[in-house]
Structure 1
Amino acid sequence: MTAIASPLNQPGKGILLYMSGIFCMATMDLLAKILSQEVHVTQTIWARYAGQTIIVTIWLLPTLKTVARTKYPGLQFVRSMSLLMGTSLFFLSLTYLGLAEATAIMDINPIFITLGAALFLGERFGPRRAFGVVAALVGALVIIRPGTEVFSPAAFLPLIAATGYATFILLTRKVGHDEDPRTSLLYAALLGAIVTSVIVPFFWTVPGPKEIALMLAIGALGALGQLFLIQAVRFAEASAIAPFSYVGLLIAAIWGALVFGEYPDLATWIGGAIIVASGLYIWHRERAAP
């Protein structure tokens, strides 16, 4: 008889789901860049969170009363605000930078997660991982190029956004030991939607059919991407799918070239390669560590 694969023993399915989630998020970033050229970026951020909240609430409706209960209201608030900060600054950076450039800098967030896990969660942080963190920071500086004529202060926006996203992931780890992942998904969307709903009236522009379509698509892709990423870890270990995060950089480069005619310069490719290599090196050390 053929053994039936257990949920955590289907890495192929997990990787496919994870890459589908990455594709959704990268495409969402593309649409956010397009929409932010038509309306204020605050409206774009609101669309992302409001859309995800509606879709997640409908999905969880039969169990919403149970899922909405959290053991960590304070941590969930800080966690959600960290994600909102990361999303807001990254979307804002897209109004100034190319997709691939912003994504490459944002991809430093796994390095910040490694550093934060050592500082705040007590995880191991040896000299090899320290080398990986320093190398990734060098890669980010290669892209940002402070002190040169091509330097743009906006390049620091995705760098700061990466710290927000890293904080979100670290707090997700913290509450994830005994918190339903659906609860974390709900609060990440809901609190962002509440905050942006308070702010967005001050920047509101009446959207036309094109803008409405983009807003709906951004909300749907954000929700779908999150659901794919959550489902992915049901079928494969996080360590098995982590390296595929960097596929998002390639997708961003392709979308940027096809839609905006943005072709990353040599420094962006070199810096991005250093960041990716550093992330993969740290991932390797994570797997090799006892």
Structure 2
Amino acid sequence: MTAAGLSDNFKGALLMMASMAAFTLNDTFVKMLAGTLPLFQLLFLRGLLTTVMVGVLAWRMGAFARAIPRRDWRLVALRLVAEVGAAYFFLTALFNMPLANVTAILQSLPLIVTLAATLVFKEPLGWRRMGAILIGLVGVMLIVRPGTEGFTLYSLYALIAVCFVTMRDLSTRKLSAETPSLLVTFLTSGAVMAFFGLGSVLDEWAALDLNAALLVLAASVMVIGGYLSSIMVMRVGEIAFVTPFRYTGLIWALVLGWLVFGDWPEPLTLLGAAIVVGMGIFTLYREGQLVRRGRLKA
């Protein structure tokens, strides 16, 4: 791997951290709306605002002037289906489960994505980095400490969401460089808006007060940031390197839990966070070693 390759990996790490920050903030705003707005209405309104904002940005950036290559349309369609499925199953679980339980199940995603990338794309993954990911997962469990009583039907919904997100990330990885990220983001947001808009007509809508409207707007802005970052991150760097940085979402969750919901981390939670951060630092160190040696194996 060249120095440029190292730069791509660091760029991917930064994009992953930005994506996790945006999505965690979005989850916080959405969770605050639970019990106020029906899920389908919320997702339609958020999708409407997101689609409009992304559409304006895509137009100004000239994304509509660039065509998606024919060979990529199947991947884009697969990504749209995956995004709709992930939104429904994850947010349904989020509305009906404690945030800690949902977070615990979702943390299986980095390992699943990394293993899937190794199997599908034949990307190298040494035992040291795999071990770091597994130890990081132990740290995740220390942070969220889900009880067995928390595994319900909605726990299965969260697992299904993990599968959909894995499909979304891998299909994004296969998109060619000619496909503009903003156009994919616009199509993704539009698909979510259309699906949940049609579904919302089957349910009674709730009136929006100013607080709810502002939360929907804030969630929409965060979704735009999450969409863009999640698309770009799968196209930069090595999946096995960038996926561990999804764990930074846990740090955001801890901070937001304290600031918004008044949750104060226990010592075991802080220990788990230290393990996760430590494994991330080790992964960076190990990657640097491999680059200096001019080979990519662990």
TM-score (norm 1): 0.75
Aligned to 2:42: 44
The code of the aligned residue for 1:216 comes to L
Q: Which shifted more, 128-137 or 22-31? A: 128-137
**How many Å apart are 1:31 and its aligned residue?**
0.8
Kindly indicate whether the alpha-carbon contact (under 8 Å) linking 2:15 and 2:230 is maintained by their aligned counterparts in 1: yes
Aligned pair 1:88/2:91, yes or no?
no
The aligned length equals 282
Aligned to 1:116: 116
The code of the aligned residue for 2:103 comes to T
> Taking structure 1 as reference, are residues 111 and 188 closer, same or farther at Cα in structure 2, changes over 3 Å only?
same
Give deviations 1:100-149, integer Å, cap 9, x for gaps: 44234323322111111122223235555655666677677775767x44
Q: CA RMSD in A?
A: 4.0
SS at match of 1:205: coil
**How many Å apart are 1:261 and its aligned residue?**
3.8
SS at match of 1:207: coil
> Taking structure 1 as reference, are residues 24 and 83 closer, same or farther at Cα in structure 2, changes over 3 Å only?
same
Q: Which shifted more, 9-18 or 79-88? A: 9-18
The 5 Å alignment of 1:1-290 reads: 19-62=17-60, 63-67=62-66, 69-71=68-70, 72-128=72-128, 131=131, 148-149=148-149, 151-209=151-209, 210-227=211-228, 244-262=245-263, 288=290, 289-290=296-297
**How many Å apart are 1:173 and its aligned residue?**
0.6
Kindly indicate whether the alpha-carbon contact (under 8 Å) linking 2:101 and 2:150 is maintained by their aligned counterparts in 1: no
Q: Which shifted more, 82-91 or 120-129? A: 120-129
Kindly indicate whether the alpha-carbon contact (under 8 Å) linking 2:28 and 2:256 is maintained by their aligned counterparts in 1: yes
Q: Which shifted more, 62-71 or 276-285? A: 276-285
The code of the aligned residue for 1:223 comes to I
Structure 2, gaps ≥5 residues long: 291-295
Q: Distance in 2 between matches of 1:190 and 1:70?
A: 19
> Taking structure 1 as reference, are residues 57 and 258 closer, same or farther at Cα in structure 2, changes over 3 Å only?
same
Structure 1, gaps ≥5 residues long: 1-5
**How many Å apart are 1:283 and its aligned residue?**
6.9
Kindly indicate whether the alpha-carbon contact (under 8 Å) linking 1:132 and 1:282 is maintained by their aligned counterparts in 2: yes
The code of the aligned residue for 1:65 comes to F
Give deviations 1:175-220, integer Å, cap 9, x for gaps: 1444222232222212222212211221342332232222222112
